[in-house]
Amino acid sequence: MAEKPQTSANFSSLPVILLLGFFSLPLLVMYAYLFIDTISDTEVGSLTPSEFTLRHWSFLWETKTGKPNIWLVTLNTFIFASCITGVILTVSSMAGYVLSRLNVPARGFFLAGVMVLHAFPSVTLIIAIFIVLQWIGLYNSLIGVILVKAAVELPLGIWLMKGFYDTVPWEIEMAGTIDGASRFTVWRRLVLPQIKPAMMALGLFSFLTGWSEFIMPQVLAPGAKVQVLSVYLASLIIDDNNFDFGTFKAVGVFYVVPVLILYVFFQKHLMNIYGGGSKG
Amino acid sequence: MRILLDKFSKSFGSTKIIEDMDLEVGSGEMLALLGPSGCGKSTTLFAVCGIHRPTAGRILFGDRDVTHLPSQERNVGVVFQSYALYPHMTVEENIGFPLMVKRIASADIKKQVADIAALVHIGDLLGRRPAQLSGGQQQRVALARALIRRPDVLLLDEPLANLDAKLRLEMRSEIRRLQKETGITAILVTHDQVEAMSMCDRIAIMKSGEIVQIATPSEMYKDPRTSFVASFLGNPPISFLKGKVQQGAFVLGENGLRLPLAAVSGIPDGTPLSLGVRPEHFGTTAGIPVEGKVVFAETQGRENLYDVVLPDGSVLRSIQPVRDDVKPGDSVRWHLDSASTFVFAEDGRRL
Ligand SMILES: Nc1ncnc2c1ncn2[C@@H]1O[C@H](COP(=O)(O)OP(=O)(O)OP(=O)(O)O)[C@@H](O)[C@H]1O
Ligand SMILES: [Mg+2]
């Protein structure tokens, strides 16, 4: 499936590349400038950096007073994003199968419900969720915010998975049951592998939404022990007393690096999402 | 193992597909379910293997009632029209899957897979994935997977539909050989009469959910019960003449051709009938002479096929050993072997 880009004979791609390059230039300059800014000092009013410094990155090795340790925060973010991914993948791969294939009572109701839930802006629920979490004692804990965030993301995941299961031919399942496999084995060994590209993509998207989520951790788990990177980053600008723009930018770059790495590694799988179905 | 369908009915929602079907397939026999598209062949097959629950009636394997047994416990092998191979597994894993779910030791599986692969001549393809196989090879893999559990019953749903003509011929004898070698009871679903006639011990012809006739291929060819059966068997197909009874004879059109037939005696004058004439019974050396004009000629190598239009406009087909003296446009006077024709009532019943 790794197709090489093809240059078609009657069409030169050079002008397109130039045009795209030209319009992307401002973006590239912005990113480059962001990075350069974090490792240099610039005099007030000037555009060109005047000296090299690692001062802005010092948050990596020294914990600022009143702020949690950056590595703890990073670990929290990883746990948060990974757990969300795990929950979403597990639940939507199963629920999607059930909605796609099994003749469950009120299937139509569930399908419509999932759709409505997906369209429902979750922010409006946040006060209610806050109260519920406090009431059951999960306020200011990672588990609480993981469960809430995963639940909010689930409708989309379930709906997507259902769509992918719909493309898997029935005959494969019929053959499986006739070969003596239980329905669970059929799902696990025969059907699930067919939608692996979709699982990859959903997993990656879930991880990224978890990684970038701000509102829920901010409201439901703001404590120093359970803080995630987005909340940490926000606390830097909210802090009026020792406002440090350089550090803010450095943390921003630090925050975005894992995302870039993920994209590089999973790009192929992301492209594969359209090539799913029953191909070998 | 004998298969028995006893008053089997199947409906989807309120649409009745099959009603009160009785069918018995003897042990070790290969039966063809032959019929036009949508007549319920696959539905019957899926009921036998347990994918569809019957709406009413019983299904027996031997003396065991399997009507309410899930397909996992029926021990049937099925080859689907689309083969339904597992695309993410190698050929070896595909064939071994039925054994794997039985938790048989993997060394045993390997050995049995090798044996069965040799039987269907795909021993050197075990490492490939289905996408890397040709249609005929995929078909063999599907067959091997269906056979590896030593099923009591083998069900084939149009297994040859996706193959080219030559492979089809090859696989026809191949499947028959395997079926005989393993002594397995088999049902073959097809809408190709040649396939049904050449591969099976008996044929069951179906029409809109009903079995019209069950017989051996030659019986059915010689003695069709309805015009539907007659038109389904035979290649090139039978042609029909529409006419009326007149004084113990079949008369075509107004004062046209007159054929005295034994089957017609005792039927009141004026009853509309149709006469089925197989192509090999027109253009014979003896019989009643019939005049007409050749409108179409086609050579099939050893034989020639002609379409002849009679004065009243109806068409008779004739197949004869190759000859060069007749061309389209020629008027001919050929003999019709009236004793071998079939007389059908207007509703299609054979008289
Ligand atoms: N799941 C279903 N729900 C409703 N109707 C169905 C279903 N499956 C089959 N049918 C109907 O039942 C009838 C028989 O279908 P079946 O698949 O048995 O035909 P068939 O004889 O195998 O035809 P073909 O040669 O085209 O495969 C068809 O009219 C079809 O529309
Ligand atoms: Mg069918």
pLDDT tens string B251-304 = 887 667 788 887 777 788 888 888 999 999 998 778 888 888 999 999 888 899
Give the pLDDT band of residue B245 (cuts 50, 70, 90): confident
pLDDT tens, residue by residue, B2-39:
999 999 999 998 999 998 999 999 999 999 999 999 99
Give the contacts of A263 (CB within 8 A, at least 6 positions apart): A270
Look at ligand 1, atom 8, and give the residue with the nearest C-alpha.
B43
Q: Are residues A155 and A203 in the same domain?
A: yes
Query: What does the alpha-carbon distance between residue A107 and residue A98 come to, in Å, rounded to a whole number?
Result: 9
Hey, what are B114's tokens?
Answer: 């090798």
CATH number of B3-232, picked from 3.40.50.300, 3.40.50.720, 3.20.20.70, 3.10.20.70: 3.40.50.300
Query: What does the alpha-carbon distance between residue B58 and residue B63 come to, in Å, rounded to a whole number?
Result: 11
Q: Are residues A20 and A130 in the same domain?
A: no
The reported pLDDT for the residue numbered A144 is 93
Q: Are residues A176 and A147 in the same domain?
A: yes
Are β-strands B15-25 and B288-299 bridged in parallel, bridged antiparallel, or unpaired?
Answer: unpaired
Q: Are residues A252 and A159 in the same domain?
A: yes
Q: Is B83 helix (H, G, I), strand (E, B) or coil?
A: coil
| Nearest CB neighbour to B98, from listed A171, A180, A280 | A180
Residue from A103, A174, A179, A182 whose CB has the most chain B CBs within 10 Å, to mutate: A179
Chain A hits for B80, Cβ within 8 Å = 171, 174-175
Which CATH fold would you assign to the domain B239-344? OB fold (Dihydrolipoamide Acetyltransferase, E2P) (2.40.50)
- Please state the atom number of ligand 1 nearest to the C-alpha of residue B189: 22
Res. A276: pLDDT tops 50: no
- Please state the atom number of ligand 1 nearest to the C-alpha of residue B35: 21
Look at ligand 1, atom 1, and give the residue with the nearest C-alpha.
B12
Q: Are residues A154 and A41 in the same domain?
A: no
Please count the structural domains in chain A.
Answer: 2
Q: Are residues A138 and A40 in the same domain?
A: no
ipTM score here? 0.79
Res. A2: pLDDT tops 70: no
Hey, what are B214's tokens?
Answer: 């069950």
pTM, two decimal places: 0.80
Domain boundaries along the sequence of chain B: 3-232, 239-344
Please give the C-alpha separations between residue B78 and each of A265, B45, B153, B160, B167, in angstroms, as whole numbers.
Answer: 42, 9, 8, 13, 20
| Nearest CB neighbour to A172, from listed B70, B84, B129 | B84
Q: Are residues A41 and A144 in the same domain?
A: no
Look at ligand 1, atom 28, and give the residue with the nearest C-alpha.
B38
Q: Are residues A35 and A166 in the same domain?
A: no
Across the range B37-60, mean pLDDT stands at 92
Q: Are the beta carbons of B72 and A171 separated by less than 8 Å?
A: no
pLDDT tens, residue by residue, B150-195:
899 999 998 888 778 888 888 888 889 989 988 999 999 998 888 9
Q: Which residues of B touch A (CB under 8 A)?
A: 46, 49-51, 70-72, 74, 76-78, 80, 82, 84-88, 97-98, 101-102, 129-132, 145, 149
Q: Ligand 1 center to residue B279 CA distance, Å?
A: 33
Q: Is A214 helix (H, G, I), strand (E, B) or coil?
A: coil
Q: Are residues A46 and A91 in the same domain?
A: no
Give the pLDDT band of residue A280 (cuts 50, 70, 90): very low
In a domain, A279, yes or no: no
pLDDT tens, residue by residue, A239-274:
777 777 888 889 999 999 999 898 888 877 666 655
Q: Which residues pair with B242 in a beta bridge?
A: B274
